[in-house]
Structure 1
Amino acid sequence: MHLPGTWLERFAADERHSTPRAGFDIGEAVAAYDRLLKAFQGRVRIQYAVKARPDHALLTALVRRGSGLDVVAPQEIEQALRAGCAPRHMSCSNAFADRQELTHARIRGVTTFTADSSDMIERIANVCPHSAVFIRIAQENLTQAAIPIAGRFGCQEDEAPELALLAVRRGLKVAGLTWHVGSQQRDPTQWEQALERAARIVRRTDHHGVTVHHLNLGGGMPATYRASTPSVETYASVILAAVDRHFPRHRQPRLIIEPGRALVADAGITTASVKAVVGRPWGTYVILDVGMWNAGLLDNLCGIEYRITFPGHPSGCATQPVTFCGPTCDPLDCLTATTPYRAPVALATGDRVVIWSTGAYCSTSALAGFNGYPPLPQHVHAPPP
């Protein structure tokens, strides 16, 4: 994924600066955007999920590349506007937005929203009349997702046509259907199941004279963490084949995807140092100067396992199972793993450690000063446009 000589490789190898440090390469994120668009053969419109990483320079670069933006809260709308994103290219995917949030979106020109209940449709119709709405459908069987997104999200299949009809009666446009197959979804066929369900819903809405113009495939495409996943090209091939199978060529809805971590996770890196190596009868603990709270590695609590390398130790050296811990005295400040991490037996205090694929969510979820450790400084590399 990272070729020798890239900015990320140089950042990882740079020992002139003390740790901990976090780096992010906008060029890598833009390259991931281009690769995703190419994999889908130009048949999708990309709306980057701002919540994954809202850096201004990143948003500006993606908007210039042609990306729309998926926003949730007023602050994200303002960030999108500052990045040059036109309101018509934003979609507010917050299916629980209150009147104040909807009012702010309307005033700022946003006209596309998401709903998965009759209450939300009524609220949108009252606050943002004549706008467009995506009907969000619940997704089932999310066992291959690192972070299942279910429960409070999405209506049942039988409800979707009724919500579409309600939206039309209340003067809204039905923009289309949307769903989310779970974050870091390792099974591309999850989109196949969702598209089959969407096709059944479209046939029912067609029967009532309501045309579905778009299918928003949501997020969920994976980054390169510790567990292997299929390539982006594999996901695109499975999804496009499912679209062709379930929707006739002359009536295919336009496709939208909302990637977050798939664009930015692999563009981020965290460098750390070993504070201590502690041997106990039940295991060995490696204490780092980065952890759950000051580096924002909270995705690990949901099953994401980061790749970790040891630049000062040769490949093939003797290793042992270890548990990596952060610098705080909080017992949760450690990286859990289904298969124990392994570190060089010779790893010692002061050695450098590199944590890869930390570009998504880490910069905004780090706590400010917990236990006296401030969030990591963020070093953002923006190549010339």
Structure 2
Amino acid sequence: MAGSWLERFAADERHPTPCAGFDVDEALGAYDRLLAAFRGRVRVQYAVKARPDDELLSALARRGSGFDVVSPLEIERALGAGCPPRSLSCSNAFAGRDELAHARDRGVLVFTADTPAMIERLAAARPAASVFLRLAQEHVTGAAIPLGGRFGCPETEAVELALLAAARGLDVAGLSWHVGSQQSDPKQWERAVGSAARVARRLRRRGVDVPRLNLGGGMPGTYRSRTPSVETYARVILAAVDAHFPPPHQPELVIEPGRALVADAGVTTASVKAVVRRPWGTYVVLDAGLWNAGLLDNLCGIEYRITYPGHPDGRAVRPVTFCGPTCDSLDSLTAADSYRAPVGLAAGDRVAIWSTGAYCATSALVGFNGYPPVPQFVHAPPR
């Protein structure tokens, strides 16, 4: 990232703080690296919820990416970016009749279901649609944000849902799952592929093929905790698919990255408002925090990397707690291992909060305590 647009943005004092920058080129680089790691064996459906900027969606569509969408607005954004309807997948397994009707009218063909009620709604609203059956992922470890509970059905129920879908005239597109957001353990996909293989074998005996596996999202961004490389994830996943689905039953693969493509393409810059020293610790109050900068993933244990433009490496540091500008006690960045800031950090100095490209722009609260969402600057390549 040395010399990148993001580094230049973070150090550019012409931008009043707080502000956030996003580099579409960085996201495209992550997209290309993902495809290369999977040796061209996956089709990418970018999860629009992670970052829905028009410039990003248009650039990904030109690259050939499809999109994972869950709402009418996300469908409109994806179509407006130039993505054809056939390249959209609606993964909202709880979509209502009006939402399904909107998707139908816009030409969306691929959906997700994990209950009989959703199968029936889909068959009524979108006859002959393709449907992925979402498998439950209980007892998953390694994810900052687990996605169990209301998402996914057990293996036995998935078999019955696939048979119901076929009986209602729907095309069984395959099986899907999600092993949790910011998943640090590639082997969780091994478990999921094994579960899918058991369902696929039972379905084949009932005359229903499983042509595709949707690997879901979950691959991580780069925060304070180290995670494996994208190449490691790809190697583990492809090995699991080859072991559990030998020819002639090898399925096509779909993947729905969000955070993995856009987290590292963003940076938030802030200024120090105050340094407060108490007998029990030092607090650095910033003009960007959980609420106005959308750093809400910190509440789930994700710790953003922080650097200090203007303070060279190697200077003395001390443990600090970073706080946002509001009077809410939750508006601080928690850390298992305390952040360490330069001893000389003072009011007016700038800090850079890295890997804020995913979810931050859309989850910032509107005007809490009178602080508006942090302005976003998007750097996009020329068309």
Report the counterpart of residue 57 of structure 2 in structure 1. 59
Query: For 1:299 and 1:321, how far apart are their aligned partners in 2?
Result: 21
Give a deviation string over 1:122-165, Cα, whole Å, max 9, x none: 11011111101000001123221010011000000111111000
Report the counterpart of residue 289 of structure 2 in structure 1. 291
1:199-210 equivalent positions in 2, closer than 5 A: 199-210=197-208
Report the counterpart of residue 330 of structure 1 in structure 2. 328
Report the counterpart of residue 123 of structure 2 in structure 1. 125
Report the counterpart of residue 173 of structure 1 in structure 2. 171
Q: Is the 8 A contact 2:138 2:149 kept in 1?
A: no
Report the counterpart of residue 274 of structure 1 in structure 2. 272
Q: Which of 372, 375, 378 pairs up with 1:377?
A: 375
Q: TM-score, normalised by structure 1?
A: 0.98
Give a deviation string over 1:255-291, Cα, whole Å, max 9, x none: 0000001000000000111000101111111000000
Give a deviation string over 1:223-267, Cα, whole Å, max 9, x none: 101100000000000000111111113220000000001000000
Report the counterpart of residue 305 of structure 1 in structure 2. 303
Q: Is the 8 A contact 2:144 2:181 kept in 1?
A: yes
Matched residue type, 2:316: A
Give a deviation string over 1:273-321, Cα, whole Å, max 9, x none: 1000101111111000000111011111111110000111121211111
3-state SS of 1:244 partner: helix
Matched residue type, 1:304: I
Q: Is the 8 A contact 2:57 2:81 kept in 1?
A: yes
Matched residue type, 1:59: L
3-state SS of 1:251 partner: coil
Query: For 1:157 and 1:134, how far apart are their aligned partners in 2?
Result: 13
Query: For 1:30 and 1:64, how far apart are their aligned partners in 2?
Result: 11
1:22-61 equivalent positions in 2, closer than 5 A: 22-61=20-59
**Greater CA drift, 341-350 or 204-213:** 341-350
Report the counterpart of residue 155 of structure 1 in structure 2. 153
Query: For 1:231 and 1:351, how far apart are their aligned partners in 2?
Result: 33
3-state SS of 2:297 partner: helix
Query: For 2:347 and 2:168, how far apart are their aligned partners in 1?
Result: 65
Query: For 1:178 and 1:253, how far apart are their aligned partners in 2?
Result: 12
Report the counterpart of residue 361 of structure 2 in structure 1. 363
Report the counterpart of residue 135 of structure 1 in structure 2. 133
Structure 2 unpaired stretches of 5+: none
Q: Is the 8 A contact 2:141 2:188 kept in 1?
A: no
3-state SS of 1:166 partner: helix
Q: Which of 343, 346, 352 pairs up with 1:345?
A: 343
3-state SS of 1:277 partner: strand
Q: CA deviation at 1:369?
A: 1.1
Matched residue type, 1:292: L
Query: For 2:15 and 2:242, how far apart are their aligned partners in 1?
Result: 52
3-state SS of 2:137 partner: coil
Query: For 1:281 and 1:149, how far apart are their aligned partners in 2?
Result: 40
Matched residue type, 1:115: A
Q: TM-score, normalised by structure 2?
A: 0.99
Matched residue type, 2:208: V
Query: For 1:116 and 1:21, how far apart are their aligned partners in 2?
Result: 40
Tell me if 1:79 matches 2:77: yes
Report the counterpart of residue 234 of structure 2 in structure 1. 236
Query: For 2:192 and 2:201, how far apart are their aligned partners in 1?
Result: 14
Aligned residues: 383
Q: Is the 8 A contact 2:69 2:75 kept in 1?
A: yes
Query: For 2:301 and 2:125, how far apart are their aligned partners in 1?
Result: 39
Query: For 1:268 and 1:141, how far apart are their aligned partners in 2?
Result: 32
Query: For 2:339 and 2:4, how far apart are their aligned partners in 1?
Result: 26
Report the counterpart of residue 183 of structure 1 in structure 2. 181
Give a deviation string over 1:322-351, Cα, whole Å, max 9, x none: 110000111111111111111111111111
Query: For 1:54 and 1:352, how far apart are their aligned partners in 2?
Result: 28
**Greater CA drift, 146-155 or 8-17:** 8-17
Q: CA deviation at 1:366?
A: 0.7
3-state SS of 1:293 partner: helix
Q: CA deviation at 1:16?
A: 2.2
1:253-264 equivalent positions in 2, closer than 5 A: 253-264=251-262
Query: For 2:142 and 2:280, how far apart are their aligned partners in 1?
Result: 31
Matched residue type, 1:151: G
Query: For 2:282 and 2:208, how far apart are their aligned partners in 1?
Result: 61
Query: For 1:153 and 1:126, how far apart are their aligned partners in 2?
Result: 22
